[in-house]
């Protein structure tokens, strides 16, 4: 990608706010996920990285996590399969000992289509299974391992509020994630488990290139009020805040990081 997304390797400074915590980050091989893994490691957490099959990208995430002096567990597999969701949880507990934070960030965003008819049954099913159905599975399998103070953070999107018809399947899943976050937060309050989401605006990630093509990256994000897309490194602090004790009175919240685009 040109420009290359900044995930914070040269800029993020940790303060030990997640010392000895264990976090799972799905889709942690690149983009926002990698930025979150790096930030969590520099805050003192060990990280389990769930990813599909991008082994070289995942290895880069592992490099920066271990450079921060923390453990990094790589768990490849397709989260649309229930058994893989269970494997992610089981391997994390087996090899890292516990789960304090679950970041549901993995997503599929297909090619932008001008023609609604091209949003086929199979594509819509894949998008929903990847983006929202697996969240139900991951949380269900993780729940027995959560203790009071645990945090679930979901990746929503500005698309939940201002959906693009060209990626309507993706936008609809992000709306579902908003509802999932708010509903789950109420179910888990008495358990002492907080559930929140981050709703990014335009962010320069490989997901964008996959949908819109490299030729459109030059103008990507210029219509947002700040006139540019965010870098992944600019999203990571929000995920850190929602994982730390600093947000102990925050649950059911959708934290918009949109460069000024209003979401409500």
Domain 22-257: give its CATH superfamily. NAD(P)-binding Rossmann-like Domain (3.40.50.720)
Q: Tell me the per-residue pLDDT of 133-174, one tens digit each, with 9 for 90 and over.
A: 999 999 999 999 999 999 999 999 999 999 999 999 999 999
Distance, CA of 163 to CA of 119 (rounded, Å)? 15
Distance, CA of 220 to CA of 110 (rounded, Å)? 16
Could you tell me if 64 and 238 are in contact, meaning their C-beta atoms sit under 8 angstroms apart?
no
Could you tell me if 173 and 199 are in contact, meaning their C-beta atoms sit under 8 angstroms apart?
no
Could you tell me if 153 and 104 are in contact, meaning their C-beta atoms sit under 8 angstroms apart?
yes
Q: Residue 253: is its pLDDT beyond 70?
A: yes
Of 143, 151, 178, residue with least CA distance to 247: 151
Q: Residue 215: is its pLDDT beyond 90?
A: no
Q: What is the mean pLDDT of residues 6-23?
A: 94
**Which pLDDT score is estimated for 264?**
74
What predicted TM-score, i.e. pTM, was given to this entire model? Answer: 0.94
Q: Tell me the per-residue pLDDT of 178-187, one tens digit each, with 9 for 90 and over.
A: 999 999 999 9
Q: Within 10 Å of residue 71's Cβ, how many Cβ atoms?
A: 16
Residue 211 binned pLDDT confidence (cut-offs 50, 70, 90): low
Catalytic residues: 170
Indicate the range of 75-84, 113-122, 123-132, 198-207 predicted with least confidence. 198-207
**Which pLDDT score is estimated for 2?**
59
Q: Residue 95: is its pLDDT beyond 70?
A: yes
Q: What is the mean pLDDT of residues 249-256?
A: 98
Q: Residue 103: is its pLDDT beyond 70?
A: yes
Structural domain boundaries of the chain?
A: 22-257
Q: Residue 216: is its pLDDT beyond 90?
A: no
Distance, CA of 181 to CA of 138 (rounded, Å)? 14
Q: Residue 3: is its pLDDT beyond 70?
A: no
Residue 210 binned pLDDT confidence (cut-offs 50, 70, 90): low
**Which pLDDT score is estimated for 6?**
84
Q: Tell me the per-residue pLDDT of 29-75, one tens digit each, with 9 for 90 and over.
A: 999 999 999 999 999 999 999 999 999 999 999 999 999 999 999 99
pLDDT over 90, % of the chain: 83
């Amino acid at each position: 990608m040109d420009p290359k997304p900044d995930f914070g390797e040269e800029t993020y400074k940790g303060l030990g706010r997640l010392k000895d915590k264990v976090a799972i980050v799905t889709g942690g091989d690149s983009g926002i996920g990698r930025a979150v893994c790096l930030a969590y490691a520099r805050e003192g957490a060990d990280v389990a990285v769930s990813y599909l099959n991008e082994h070289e990208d995942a290895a880069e995430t592992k490099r920066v996590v271990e450079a921060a002096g923390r453990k990094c567990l790589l768990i490849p597999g397709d989260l649309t399969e229930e058994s893989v969701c269970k494997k992610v949880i089981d391997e994390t507990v087996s090899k890292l000992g516990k789960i304090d934070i679950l970041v549901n960030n993995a997503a599929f965003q297909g090619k932008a289509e001008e023609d609604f008819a091209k949003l086929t049954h199979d594509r819509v099913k894949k998008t929903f299974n990847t983006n929202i159905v697996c969240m139900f599975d991951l949380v269900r399998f993780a729940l027995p391992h959560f203790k009071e103070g645990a945090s679930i953070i979901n990746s929503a999107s500005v698309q939940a509020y201002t959906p693009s018809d060209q990626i309507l399947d993706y936008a609809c899943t992000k709306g579902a994630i908003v509802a999932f976050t708010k509903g789950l937060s109420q179910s888990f309050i008495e358990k002492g488990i907080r559930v929140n989401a981050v709703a990014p605006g335009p962010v320069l990630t490989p997901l964008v290139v996959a949908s819109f093509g490299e030729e459109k990256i030059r103008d990507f994000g210029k219509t947002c009020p700040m006139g540019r897309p965010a870098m992944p490194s600019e999203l990571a602090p929000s995920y850190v805040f929602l994982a730390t004790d600093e947000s102990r009175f925050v649950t059911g919240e959708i934290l918009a990081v949109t460069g000024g685009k209003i979401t409500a």
